[in-house]
Amino acid sequence: MLKQSRLLFRVAVFLVLSHPILPSFSAQTLEPLYRDNSGFRAVTISDGLEHPWALAFLPDGRMLVTERPGRLRLIEKGRLNPTPVSGLPEITASGQGGLLDIVLHPDYRNNGWLYFSYVAFGKGGMGTRVARARLDGLQLKELEVLFRMNIGSMTGHHFGSRLLFDRAGFLYITVGERGDRRRAQRLNDHAGSVIRLHDDGRIPSDNPFVDLPDAAPEIFSYGHRNPQGMALHPQTGEVWLHEHGPQGGDELNLLHAGQNYGWPVITYGVEYGIGTSIGEGTHKPGMAQPIYYWVPSIAPSGMSFYDGDRFPEWRGSLFIGSLKFRLLVRLELDHGEVVKEERLLRGVLGRIRDVRTGPDGLIYLLTDESNGRLVRLEPAGL
């Protein structure tokens, strides 16, 4: 059944790509375009954001947005504060790197900790880092760096950098393989891995490789290429993540301790431009198969399970932004398998970098542009 679904999906993708992409529309035109078919409208909350990367909701209704060039912005009552938040560490904005993800501690109301990922120079060059701080007005205070990638490089891509807290309070960090695919199979190298820490940066004693000589004890899983989406399943509490493949082979995976996710030994993608195979094929014993994959690639970024009440027909769906096709992907799941894919907002908003479900039950998107926008999806009759 799954193989048949994948074949039908590839045929559908071919048919879709054979038609021209819709022109770009302003937020005011979205309602009549989508009211009849999908029952939602898209409203711009704020523009003027320079390559925004991630969004976090504060308990008092304000929102924080990271801008990749190295600024943290505050949005209050739909207005972007012209003054960036101060107190960030030194950030290297190069290529795909800069100020990236941001999340709140699960007990933020009591402890006030904000966690954010960014790129900075260290041993060997640029690498992913994670710090935490407390917000006081428009200033970050009590800054603590919790994680530093152990080996950097001078390439400007594949930083990964999504952050997530699970139900037990562990912090997960995705780290890309920095464009050097061999590094993803090395357990002494943070590149191409998912990191798991306590909220204060300590290494959990039950991490899978903590007792393995020469392995980096922070590593929870490995064999990743460039994971830019991570979300917690609202019913099971499982950690899901997706990542960029090469040409084809973007993957949706379920995270397991100690698992090898295969890159670059196995992949459904091929070499850019020339189309030759990579590694040893698509399967190998001891390496995980994706729950779902995309050929051609959609360039996924951002991901959120929808568990709100404002869109009851979407409850339980998984939403993923697509940078390449400039759209929003909605996946329907049944017992951990993808049974349907729907593509929304094709060519309307641009490159969708982040996807979040708000505390109000609405869906929020960030567009990756020099004049990026924060957009909210609402029921058409709101």
pLDDT in tens, 193-218: 999 999 999 999 999 999 999 999 99
The one-letter code for the residue type at 78 is: G
Give the CATH H-level superfamily of domain 2-379.
Answer: TolB, C-terminal domain (2.120.10.30)
Q: Helix, strand, or coil here: 112?
A: coil
Residues 6+ apart with CB under 8 A from 11: none
Residues 6+ apart with CB under 8 A from 362: 308, 310, 376, 377, 378
pLDDT value of position 216 = 98
Q: Mean pLDDT across the chain, nearest whole number? A: 91
Q: What percent of the chain has pLDDT over 90?
A: 88
Q: What percent of the chain has pLDDT over 70?
A: 90
pLDDT value of position 38 = 64
As a whole number of angstroms, the distance between CA 360 and CA 307 comes to: 11
Q: Helix, strand, or coil here: 16?
A: helix
∠ Cα 235 379 35 (to 5°): 125
Residues 6+ apart with CB under 8 A from 274: none
Task: Give the pLDDT mean for 167-196.
Answer: 98
As a whole number of angstroms, the distance between CA 116 and CA 103 comes to: 6
Look at residues 284, 270, 268, 302 and name the one whose alpha carbon lies nearest to residue 174: 302
pLDDT value of position 7 = 40
As a whole number of angstroms, the distance between CA 281 and CA 86 comes to: 48
- Binned at pLDDT 50, 70 and 90, residue 381 comes out as confident
Task: Give the pLDDT mean for 255-262.
Answer: 98
- Binned at pLDDT 50, 70 and 90, residue 134 comes out as very high
pLDDT value of position 330 = 98
Q: Helix, strand, or coil here: 15?
A: helix
Look at residues 330, 258, 250, 349 and name the one whose alpha carbon lies nearest to residue 290: 250
pLDDT value of position 34 = 41
pLDDT in tens, 53-92: 999 999 999 999 999 999 999 999 989 999 999 999 999 9
Phi/psi for 347 (5° steps) reads 70, 15
Element (H, E) at 174: strand 171-175
Least confidently predicted of 35-39, 139-143, 175-179 = 35-39
The one-letter code for the residue type at 255 is: L
As a whole number of angstroms, the distance between CA 281 and CA 242 comes to: 20
Report the side by side order of strands in the sheet with 40-49.
40-49, 372-379, 363-367, 352-357
The question of whether 158 is a catalytic residue gets the answer: yes
pLDDT value of position 375 = 97
pLDDT in tens, 91-105: 999 999 999 999 999
pLDDT in tens, 295-349: 999 999 999 999 999 999 999 999 999 999 999 999 999 999 999 999 999 999 9
Q: Which residue in the block uniquely carries the two structure tokens 């729950």?
A: 291
Determine which one of 51, 105, 158, 224 is catalytic: 158
Residue 14 has pLDDT above 90, yes or no: no
Contact 109, 137 (CB under 8 A): no
pLDDT value of position 317 = 98
pLDDT value of position 184 = 98
Task: Give the pLDDT mean for 156-173.
Answer: 97
Contact 239, 229 (CB under 8 A): no
Element (H, E) at 108: helix 108-111
Instruction: Provide the phi-psi class of 178: left if phi over 0, else alpha when psi is between -120 and 50, else beta.
Output: left
DSSP-derived pairing of the beta strands 125-136 and 337-344? unpaired
